[in-house]
Amino acid sequence: MKYVTPKEASQLLGVSISSLRRWESDGKIKSIRTPGGQRRYCLEDYEPESKSIICYARVSTHGQKDDLERQAEFLRSKYPRAEIITEIGSGLNFKRERFLSILERIHQRNVALLAVAYPDRLARFGFPLIEWLCEQCECKLVVLNESKLSPQEELIQDILSILHCFSARFYGLRKYQKQAEKILQEEPTQSLLQGEAQQCLKDQGLSL
């Protein structure tokens, strides 16, 4: 009967070391202690639960299908038995259908491992939140850090999208700037603001 270290068991089963210890307490996996007091796990009698191993690949546009296929092939080479899920959509969009489906399955604790080629394949922003969700739901998140599988043109597109969004909001603020200035110039409003300022100073033990 072969026993392996916690790190080896974690990698082979696609779970965290804390999950291994919980399984040990629940009797799901056998373990022994070495003379030095270190844990060793036996995987031969372990019966795996019906949890999925998922590899997720994404590109932003239909014109990047070759990039999408390269991602999928790379992930398939690392995890031959995994479920490969591909999607076309912006990394700024958190409402991607397949992306949300994966998160839902993770939340239901039906996913043992989620692998991506690079962090931005999951999301351009908010990756630590996804990482936290996986940790809470006992899903091992594997990032293979293949930067060449993260198309540079996507980064440029996302930056331009963000700039466009903020410039539109800035333009909207400018539209109301004159209205705000006009309101502030009105006598009743000035009196009201002055009264509020006096009350604020009074609360702080000061005076105008």
What pLDDT score does 16 carry?
A: 78
What pLDDT score does 116 carry?
A: 95
Catalytic hit among 10, 19, 60, 150: 60
What Å distances lie between residue 187 and 183, 194, 197, CA to CA? 9, 10, 15
What pLDDT score does 184 carry?
A: 53
The predicted model gives 110-119 an average pLDDT of 93
What pLDDT score does 203 carry?
A: 47
What pLDDT score does 76 carry?
A: 93
Tens of pLDDT, residue by residue over 44-98, are: 766 665 688 999 999 988 999 999 999 999 999 999 889 999 999 988 888 999 9
What Å distances lie between residue 19 and 10, 22, 134, 181, CA to CA? 9, 5, 12, 59
pLDDT at 29 exceeding the cut of 80: yes
pLDDT at 154 exceeding the cut of 90: no
What pLDDT score does 130 carry?
A: 95
The predicted model gives 122-128 an average pLDDT of 89
pLDDT at 180 exceeding the cut of 80: no
The pair of three-digit structure tokens given for residue 52, joined into one six-digit string? 């999925």
Cα 72–Cα 137–Cα 98 angle in degrees, nearest 5 = 35
Tens of pLDDT, residue by residue over 100-109, are: 999 999 999 9
Known catalytic residue at 60: yes
pLDDT at 205 exceeding the cut of 80: no
Higher pLDDT, 132 or 177: 132
pLDDT at 197 exceeding the cut of 60: no
What pLDDT score does 133 carry?
A: 96
